[in-house]
């Protein structure tokens, strides 16, 4: 993930993006305690997703503010616009960070354990939103997750890793592997 985001150089080989620039990647990090107490309004956090592609321009444009408002509306958090980010529930904070990531891109989102710490209802809602982004808006999603059940439910391709790649391929193929059977505790597909 850090290689895709340009934070680490590959130990060997290279990463190639098909017509996507490094600054066109949206990123939803795994939250830390410090991030949960970030003292800014929801609108400020969402709008900050535009920073990476702004260059040295000192002020946000009307287009960027409109994009932030549209992303908040799409993720159903527009009524939280003026609230402090630190006052929100975990699920609301994840929606804010997802809206922020959408301000950075309309093409590729990288998600790091996006449902960590969320209750089952919020987890289901967030996965549904992520799936809608992929299906309705055509945004490619790369997600790191330990939630195998949801990974095979929503993912089209699986990269299963330990210290190296154990499997890479279509979800349907993964469901028929011994590693999936072991991880999911179920019966292999026929």
Q: What is the pLDDT of residue 164?
A: 87
| Residue 158 near residue 152 (C-beta atoms within 8 A) | yes
Q: What is the pLDDT of residue 109?
A: 92
Q: Helices (DSSP H) in 31-189: which residue ranges?
A: 33-36, 42-47, 51-54, 62-74, 90-104, 120-137, 148-154, 171-174, 178-184
| Residue 45 near residue 31 (C-beta atoms within 8 A) | no
Averaged over successive runs of 10 residues, the pLDDT of the chain (190 residues) comes to 83 83 82 66 93 75 94 94 92 91 89 88 90 91 90 92 91 93 66
Q: The whole model's pTM is what? A: 0.82
| Residue 24 near residue 104 (C-beta atoms within 8 A) | yes
Burial class of residue 41 in the structure, from the number of CB atoms within 10 Å of its CB (0-12 exposed, 13-18 middle, 19+ buried) = middle
Residue corresponding to tokens 């469901």: 175
Q: What is the DSSP letter of 15?
A: -
**Cα–Cα distance for residue pair 64/54, rounded to 1 Å:** 10
Q: What is the pLDDT of residue 35?
A: 60
Q: Which two tokens stand for residue 97?
A: 């960070």
Which regions of the chain carry the CATH code 3.40.50.300? 22-149
Report the DSSP pairing between strands 165-170 and 108-112: unpaired
Highest CATH level, class, for 22-149: alpha beta
């Amino acid at each position: 993930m850090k290689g895709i985001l340009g934070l680490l150089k590959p130990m060997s080989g290279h990463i190639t993006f098909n017509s996507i620039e490094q600054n066109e990647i949206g990123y939803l990090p795994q939250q830390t305690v410090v991030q949960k107490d970030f003292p800014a309004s929801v609108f400020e956090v969402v709008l900050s997703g535009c920073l990476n592609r702004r260059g040295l321009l000192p002020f946000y444009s009307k287009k960027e503010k409109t994009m932030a408002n549209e992303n908040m509306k799409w993720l159903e958090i527009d009524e939280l616009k003026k609230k402090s980010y630190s006052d929100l529930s975990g699920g609301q904070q994840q929606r804010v960070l997802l809206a922020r990531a959408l301000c950075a891109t309309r093409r590729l989102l990288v998600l790091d354990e996006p449902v960590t710490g969320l209750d089952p209802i919020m987890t289901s809602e967030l996965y549904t939103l992520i799936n809608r982004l992929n299906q309705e808006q055509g945004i490619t999603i790369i997600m790191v997750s330990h939630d195998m059940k949801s990974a095979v439910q929503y993912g089209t391709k699986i990269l299963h890793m330990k210290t190296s790649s154990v499997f890479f391929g279509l979800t349907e193929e993964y469901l028929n592997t011994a590693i999936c059977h072991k991880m999911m505790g179920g019966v292999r597909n026929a």
